[in-house]
Structure formats: structure tokens, C-alpha cells
Amino acid sequence: MRLTIRTRYAIRALYDLAFHAGAGPGQAAQAKEIAERQGIPFKFLEQILQDLRRAGLVEARRGPHGGYALARPAAEISMADILRAVRGPLEDLLGVGGEPGPGDIPSLVWGEVGTRLIEVLERTKLADFVARAESAGVRRAVVPATMYFI
């Protein structure tokens, strides 16, 4: 399976929210910050974030601490959820679920491969990426101190 740029950027944006903006839902980051940290074109990222919002993976917040935040904990967001948000049903994407004709062994084999791939994508959570980054020593973004002027 080949991941599109849109899919890769969606995964990177959600990883960024999970890793840099906080370990769970609630902490927000602005799209501009995510785009800069992940090297994603800002306008393209905004479109992707809207897809992720419609899928219920992120929520948009207004106000001084606004931006985008995970809609649920990273441990509850699977790679399958992300792919579905930006690509549609995985069964259609992988050609799983159709009835093969008699003796159509390649379709049977590829159908099983697709089914197993979906299972792996369902088990692989966004929190797994965060844990790997932490164990590899990746540093979190430093939040600048709030300055008050009188």
C-alpha cells in the first residue's frame, strides 16, 4: 500500500498534536506551529485538519489558547482511523470484501492480506508513535513563556 502525501501529512499532524501539544486530549496547538515543526505547507495542512475534524479525530478551539487538539486520547486513535479520515473506507482502498469468482486464488490471497493489514492498522495507535519518539530521545517543542505587559 502506498501512502499519499496527504495521508503522510495527516499522520504527522496528529503525531505532532499528540507529542508536542500534550499526551492526551485537551492541549491545543495552532496549525501554523504544526506546519513549521513538521514541514507541511500551511494551506494544505488546514485542509487536512478539516478532514480530521470532520472525522472526529481533532477539535478546533477558538480563543487565546485556541488551535487544534486531539478529540480523544492518542491511545484511542488508530492508524486505520487516520487513513479512513483522509482516504475513505479501507476495504475499498485495499480491495477487501468483494466476492472472488470460482478459482480466483489471487483475489482470495490479496483479500486476506488486506484484511490482516487492516487489523494491524487498527492495533497501531498514535500513542505508539509517541512512545517510540520518547524512547528515541526526541525532544518536545518548548512552549514560550507568556509575557505580560502593563
- Find out if CATH 1.10.10.10 is the number for domain 5-135: yes
Q: Which pLDDT value is given to residue 64?
A: 75
3-state SS assignment for residue 69: strand
Q: Going residue by residue through the chain (150 aa), what tens digit of pLDDT does each one get?
A: 678 999 999 999 999 999 987 644 457 899 999 999 999 999 999 999 999 999 999 999 887 778 999 999 999 999 999 999 999 888 877 766 666 556 666 666 777 888 888 899 999 999 999 999 888 888 877 655 444 556
The alpha-helical segments, DSSP class H, found in 2-147 are 5-20, 31-38, 42-54, 79-87, 90-94, 105-123, 126-135
CA 56/CA 109 separation, integer angstroms = 33
What pLDDT does 147 receive?
46
Residue reference for cell 495507535: 125
